[in-house]
Copies of this chain bind each other. A is one copy, B any other.
Amino acid sequence: MYLDIRTELINDDCLNYLKKLENNSIDLILTSPPYADQRKSTYGGVKTDEYVKWFLPISKELLRVLKPTGTFILNIKEKVIEGERSTYVMELILEMRKQGWFWTEEFIWHKKNCHPGKWSNRFRDSWERLLQFNKSKKFNMYQDAVKVPVGDWAKSRLKTLSNNDKVRTSSAVGSGFGKNVSNWIGRDTVYPTNVLHLATESSNKNHSAAFPESIPEWFIKLFTQEADTVLDPFLGSGTTSVVAKRLNRHSIGIELLPEYFTIAKHRIDKSETNKPVIDNTLPLFNIELSDING
C-alpha cells in the first residue's frame, strides 16, 4: 500500500503565502530562519534590533496554522556583535509567549564538527538552540520513534539481580529504580535526552543546508506520524521537504529566493517517495554515546 504524499514547494515570501494556509492544518513546523544580520546579500540582512519585530508577524501566522496538537521547532542562535552575544533570541521567546505560544523546551544541537577558527576572546561555537514551542500543553509526541541504544552499563548491571533492587521497592527511600529492575532484562534501547549530538553535513557544497538531514528526521519522527503535514517557511535548499517526503509525511516548503528554490525543487524531484520506513529506532546523533562507552 502506498500513501499519496504531497510535497508542495512554494517560491514566495513566507508571510505572504502563510496567509493562504488554513487554520489548524499543520502538525509540525520546523525551520531555520535566516539569522539576524546573516546572509546580508540574500535576505537583505535583517538587523539585530529589528529581528524580533520582523519575526513576530510570521510567528503569529505560524501559530494560526498549527494544529493544537502540533509543535513548532525553531533552530536559531545568537550572533556575536562587537564581542557580545546578541539578545534577540531571548527577546523573541518572551514576545512569542505574549502571542500565545508555550515555550515547552530548548533542545541543544551539539555540532561535532563545528566551524574552525580562533579568537582571542572566545572559543569556537559548537552548539545551537532548537526551541520547541507549542500551541497547547497537550501535543502529540511519539517518543518510541527515536529511542537510542542503551549504554553498556546495562550489561553488567543486569547480569545479576541484586537483592537490594528488591529491597528498594519496599524501603520507599529514593525513587525505587529497583522495583522494576526485571523490566530491564532484554531492554536494549532507552529514551534520549534533550541534547542532540551530530555532525554538520559538509560533503556537498552546491547547496548550503541549514542543518543535516538527521535534525529534521529526528523531529519529524518525534512529533508526527505518517501522512501528517510538515511546514518549513524558510526552506532554503529543501532539507526539511526531502526528509518529510522520505518519511511519508506531507509537506509544504516555502522559499523566497529563486536560487534556493531551484535547488530545493531539484532535490525533491530526484528524491524517493513513499519509501517504506526501514528503521525508526536508530537516529544517527547518538553514535558518540556508544563510542565513549564502547
- Name A residues whose Cβ lies closer than 8 Å to a Cβ of B: 82-85, 87, 90-91, 93-94, 97, 102-106, 108, 110, 112-114, 116, 118, 120-127, 137, 139, 141, 143, 159, 162, 175, 177, 191-195, 287-288, 291-293
Contacts and interface: CB of A to CB of B under 8 A. Distances in A.
Contacts of A120: 141, 143
Given A94-B91, A287-B292, A104 B83 contact: yes
A126 B193 contact: yes
A84 B177 CA distance: 26
A194 B292 contact: no
Contacts of A84: 102-104, 137
A104 B82 CA distance: 10
Q: Which of A82, A113, A195 has the most CB of B within 10 A?
A: A195
A126 B82 CA distance: 31
Given A141-B120, A292-B291, A93 B87 contact: yes
A94 B87 contact: yes
Contacts of A159: 292
Contacts of A114: 193
Contacts of A93: 87, 90
20 contacts: A84-B103, A84-B104, A87-B103, A90-B90, A90-B93, A104-B121, A110-B195, A112-B292, A116-B175, A118-B191, A120-B141, A121-B141, A123-B143, A123-B192, A124-B191, A124-B193, A125-B194, A127-B194, A291-B291, A291-B292
Nearest to A131: B85
A137 B83 contact: yes
Closest 7 CB pairs of A and B: A126-B193, A90-B90, A83-B137, A124-B193, A112-B292, A126-B195, A84-B102
Contacts of A126: 193-195
A110 B112 contact: no
A36 B112 CA distance: 32
B292 A162 contact: yes
A112 B194 CA distance: 12
Given A91-B94, A177-B116, A195-B127, A137 B291 contact: no
A215 to B, nearest CB: 15
Contacts of A291: 288, 291-292
A195 B91 CA distance: 23
Given A120-B141, A124-B193, A127-B195, 10 more contacts: A82-B137, A84-B104, A90-B90, A104-B121, A112-B292, A114-B193, A124-B191, A125-B193, A287-B292, A291-B291
